[in-house]
Chains A and B, each alone.
Chain A
Amino acid sequence: MAEATKLIHKYLRHDKKFPHVWCPGCGNGILLGSLIRGIDRTGIEKDDIVIVSGIGCSGRLSVYVDFNTLHTTHGRALTFATGIKLANPKLNVIVIMGDGDATAIGGNHFIHAARRNLDLTAIVVNNNIYGMTGGQYSPTTPYGAMAATALYGNIEHAFSIAELAVMAGAGMVSRGTVYHAAMLDDLIEKAILRRGFAVVEVMSHCHIQYGRRNQMGDAVEMLRLQKEAAVRAEKAAQMPAEEMMGRYTIGVLADRELPVYTEEYEKVRKSAKEMMQLVGKAESGDLKAADKRRKREAAGEADNAEI
Chain B
Amino acid sequence: MTAKRSPGRQVLLQGNEAIVEGALAAGCRFFAGYPITPATEISEVMSYRLPAVDGTFIQMEDEIASLGAVIGASLAGSKSMTATSGPGFSLMQENLGFACIAEVPCVVVNVMRGGPSTGLPTNVSQGDVMQSRWGTHGDHPIIVLAASTTQDCFSLTVRAFNLSEKYRTPVILLADEVVAHTREKIYLPHPEEMEVIDRIRPNMPPDWYIPYEDNSRGVPPMSPFGEGYRYHVTGLVHDVRGFPTQRSEEIVGFMNRLFRKINQNFFDIQQINEEMTEDAEVIVIAYGSVSRSARRAVREARERGIKAGLVQLISLWPFPRQAVEPILRQVRAVLVPELNMGQMSREIKRVNQGQTRIETLNRIDGGLIGPSEILTRLLRM
Contacts and interface: CB of A to CB of B under 8 A. Distances in A.
A17 B58 CA distance: 38
Nearest to A15: B241
B69 interface: yes
Contacts of B202: 302, 307
B54 A83 contact: no
* Smallest CB-CB A-B distances: 3 pairs: A83-B72, A79-B68, A83-B69
Contact of B232 (A71, A91, A108): A71
Interface string B240-254: 010110000000000
Interface string A73-87: 100101111111111
B95 to A, nearest CB: 6
A247 interface: no
Interface string B63-75: 0111111111111
Nearest to B228: A47
Contacts of A15: 241, 243
A86 B73 contact: yes
Given A83-B80, A294-B196, A63 B232 contact: yes
Interface stretch (A144-152, A225-233, A272-280): A272-280
Output the residue of A15, A48, A286, A287 with the most chain B CB within 10 A.
A287
Contacts of A48: 226
Given A286-B191, A302-B200, 7 more contacts: A17-B243, A69-B230, A76-B64, A86-B56, A87-B78, A288-B54, A301-B200
B72 A84 contact: yes
Q: How many A residues are at the interface, by size bracket?
A: 35 or more
Contacts of A307: 200, 202-204, 215, 220-221
- Residue among B53, B66, B224, B235 with the highest chain A CB neighbour number at 10 A: B53
A180 interface: no
A47 B72 contact: no
Interface in A46-69: 46-48, 50, 52, 62-63, 66-69
A50 B225 contact: yes
B77 interface: yes
A243 interface: no
Nearest to B67: A79
A257 interface: no
Interface in A1-56: 15-17, 46-48, 50, 52
A72 B235 contact: yes
Contacts of A276: 52
Interface in A103-153: 108-109, 112
A50 B226 contact: yes
Contact of A272 (B51, B221, B226): B51
A305 B221 contact: yes
B214 to A, nearest CB: 11
A83 B30 contact: yes
14 contacts: A52-B72, A70-B233, A71-B236, A73-B98, A76-B65, A79-B64, A79-B69, A83-B70, A87-B56, A88-B78, A109-B64, A287-B53, A291-B27, A307-B200
B139 interface: no
A284 B49 CA distance: 8
A82 B62 contact: no
Given A87-B78, A294-B198, A305-B203, A68 B65 contact: no
A86 B51 contact: no
Contacts of A50: 76, 225-226
Given A289-B3, A291-B27, A305-B221, A82 B65 contact: yes
A46 B230 contact: yes
B98 A72 contact: yes
B60 interface: yes
Contacts of B62: 108
B279 interface: no
B274 interface: no
A90 interface: yes
A12 B233 CA distance: 16
A242 interface: no
Chain A interface mostly helix, strand, loop or mixed? helix
A99 B137 CA distance: 25
A212 interface: no
A83 B99 CA distance: 14
Contacts of B191: 283, 286-287, 289-290
A79 B25 CA distance: 26
A109 B61 contact: yes
A298 B326 CA distance: 40
Contact of A108 (B29, B52, B61, B220): B61
* Residue with the greatest number of chain B CB neighbours at <10 A, chosen from A16, A281, A290: A290
Contacts of B347: none
A76 B76 contact: no
Indicate the member of B3, B49, B72, B98 with the most A CB atoms within 10 Å: B72
Contacts of A79: 60, 64-69, 72
A268 interface: yes
Interface in B34-93: 48-54, 56, 58, 60-62, 64-78, 80
Interface in B156-187: none
A83 B68 contact: yes
Contact of A69 (B50, B58, B73, B233): B233
B129 to A, nearest CB: 25
A48 to B, nearest CB: 6
B196 A290 contact: yes
Given A69-B233, A87-B78, A289-B3, A80 B69 contact: yes
B316 interface: no
A90 B215 CA distance: 32
Contacts of A84: 72-73, 75-76, 225
Contacts of B117: none
A108 B62 CA distance: 9
Contacts of B216: 306
A68 B62 CA distance: 26
B190 interface: yes
A268 B51 contact: yes
